[in-house]
Chain A
Amino acid sequence: MVVAAARALAGVQRVFVGVGMPNVACNLARHTVSPELELVYESGVYGARPDRLPLSIGDPTLVTGSTATVSMADLFALYLQAGHIDVAFLGGAQIDRFGNLNTTVIGDYRSPKVRLPGSGGAAEIATSARSVFVMMRLSPRSFVETLDFVTSPGHLTGGEARADLGLPGAGPELVVSDLALFDFANPEREMQLTSLHRGVTRDQARAAVGWKLRAAGVVAETPEPTPEELHLLREVLDPGGLYSR
């Protein structure tokens, strides 16, 4: 999952990173397909070079040795809103077929069954990043027909809805899961299966999604991680196996 996300960052210059799997994926990409990749954190860091795997996006190791550390006002306005972030990673408790995300509540907002963390920077990121990659584990509890709450706008109701509303970024373009890969490359902007990981069948992927899953014309098999990628992950970047197992 981490390796697939890293490979998708080929040629990307500025990526907005959260902690966890996206962070490891971005660092792997810097060592492989995208040596020019600069890591941007919503806490106010451009060009982070952390000495250790950060627990949070505000870790002091992100600041020391970074290219620029700026105020959050500058980060959100000049770096993100002005359109300089090529790719941003997002995830969520729920995603629907158009890539809209819920990180706010399960159940009713006023008396929620589960109160989730809320947007943080996600609403702005989903609006203004030039492209969004989603990393989430595939399950029918997460990939749902209807979100309980729309926190981050994806392709909204599909088709041209996003462009009509004037959202500057292109929205979600890739979904990386533990079983398969998806994109939104059809006129309806609906999530479609593009690649199954080794040993995963179409039926398994369909069963793990809460709507009638669409497939691209050609569904590939996701290439396995190379020994080099595995070495980097397991020995160098994430030896504790916190995120890459």
Chain B
Amino acid sequence: MAEAVAEFVHDGESLAIEGFTAFICFAAGHEVIRQQRRDLTLIRMTPDAIYDQMVAAGVASGLVFSYLGNPGVGPLHCIRRAVEKGVPRRLEVEEWSHGGMVARYLAGASGLPFYPLRSYAGTDLPAVNPLIRFIDDPYGSQPIAVVPPLMPDVAILHAQRADAEGNTHLWGLVGVQKEVAFAAQKVVVVVEEVVPAEVIRSDPNRTLIPGFKVDAVVLEPYGAHPSYVQGFYDRDNEFYLEWNRVSRDPETTEMWLEEWVYGVADRAAYLAKLGGGVRERLRPRPEPAAAVDYGRYP
């Protein structure tokens, strides 16, 4: 992880650590904080606790997003402080909606100059985000909103497994992981398991990211905690509730970062500190799917 972050995440660039509630690579976010990156433009649909932590740590000068909540719990207090008071530093925000960001990634992923969607008409967002435009439907009469492509300099995407070439299997809330992998200039895939190519090839429908789009594969078990990986571990909902409390105050936030980010060398040390009790609490029961037979054809 340390090598991947050192090689691929640079000051002043745009970074997308995506995952819609699931597959959020907190291990990568913490390493970016430890390596003291600066002036990053952070891109996520919902910043989640990961960007709340990274903004508090001072790595970001910009944020591209569509929802500023701690999902199901409340606001993201550190980001709110940055936006309302410029603490710890001013944050330039570029605001969209979920549908708009999905459309932007689709445009970026598929080499298109823009993407249309049914949204924004009758709202105030276009007035504060001039990148939202309206064009006339060339086959009809109604205007429709269009959004420009989004192509992050680097994306760090968590998944269940990949082979050594980066061919990646993903199941559960796949969110926009695939689209971001195709839209980003550089891609780091972080996985719970590295598997032989035969495992990937045994279920090709599940290969959402092909290896040619991946610049590095990082093996980091439990790398998404407190987010989750379907089938491997649960979301740590208790943590998100606790984060709501800790992040209200800049001092307790700083103490948390000292203890859990700066105070541990890497994710392995974080896990040792987290302890077996948490991992037991987050262990799901097995629920394998019905087997799928692709057939082998002579």
Contacts and interface: CB of A to CB of B under 8 A. Distances in A.
Contacts of B45: 72
A34 to B, nearest CB: 24
Interface string B105-127: 11000000000011111111100
B71 A151 contact: no
B68 A115 contact: yes
Given A60-B284, A112-B84, A153-B121, A71 B71 contact: no
B175 A44 contact: yes
A13 interface: no
B72 A121 contact: no
A81 B118 contact: yes
A156 B174 contact: no
Interface string A63-89: 111000111110010001100000000
Interface stretch (B96-104, B215-223, B245-253): B96-104
A43 interface: yes
Q: How large is the interface on B (under 10, 10 to 19, 20 to 34, 35 or more residues)?
A: 35 or more
Contact of A57 (B21, B66, B96): B21
A213 interface: no
B240 interface: yes
Interface residues of A, number: 55
Contacts of A168: 118
Contacts of A54: 72
Interface string A44-64: 110000000011111110111
A211 interface: no
B40 to A, nearest CB: 20
Contacts, number: 170
Contacts of B284: 60
B287 interface: yes
Among B21, B179, B234, residue most surrounded by chain A Cβ atoms (within 10 Å): B21
B172 interface: yes
B123 A150 contact: yes
Nearest to B128: A109
A56 B122 contact: no
B121 A127 contact: yes
B172 A63 contact: yes
A58 B45 CA distance: 13
Q: Is the interface of B mostly helix, strand, loop or mixed?
A: loop
A116 B72 CA distance: 14
Contact of A120 (B66, B172, B235, B240): B66
Nearest to A147: B124
Given A44-B173, A55-B72, A57-B21, A72 B102 contact: yes
B162 to A, nearest CB: 18
A149 to B, nearest CB: 5
Nearest to A76: B99
A55 B95 CA distance: 25
Interface in A79-132: 80-81, 100, 104, 109-110, 112, 114-124, 127-128
A167 B80 contact: no
A152 interface: yes
A71 B180 CA distance: 12
B121 A118 contact: no
A162 interface: yes
A79 to B, nearest CB: 12
Contact of A118 (B66, B71, B118): B66
A100 B122 CA distance: 9
10 A-B pairs with least C-beta separation: A58-B21, A153-B122, A120-B67, A56-B71, A56-B72, A124-B99, A119-B97, A117-B69, A166-B142, A123-B97
Given A117-B67, A153-B123, A166-B142, 17 more contacts: A42-B98, A43-B20, A57-B72, A58-B71, A60-B22, A60-B172, A60-B234, A69-B174, A70-B174, A109-B128, A112-B83, A115-B80, A115-B83, A120-B46, A121-B97, A150-B122, A151-B125
Interface of A: 19-20, 42-45, 54-60, 62-65, 69-73, 76, 80-81, 100, 104, 109-110, 112, 114-124, 127-128, 149-153, 156, 161-162, 165-168
27 contacts: A44-B173, A55-B73, A56-B71, A56-B72, A59-B237, A60-B22, A63-B173, A70-B174, A109-B128, A112-B84, A114-B84, A115-B80, A118-B65, A119-B95, A119-B96, A119-B123, A121-B67, A123-B119, A124-B117, A127-B118, A128-B118, A150-B124, A153-B121, A153-B123, A166-B142, A166-B143, A168-B118
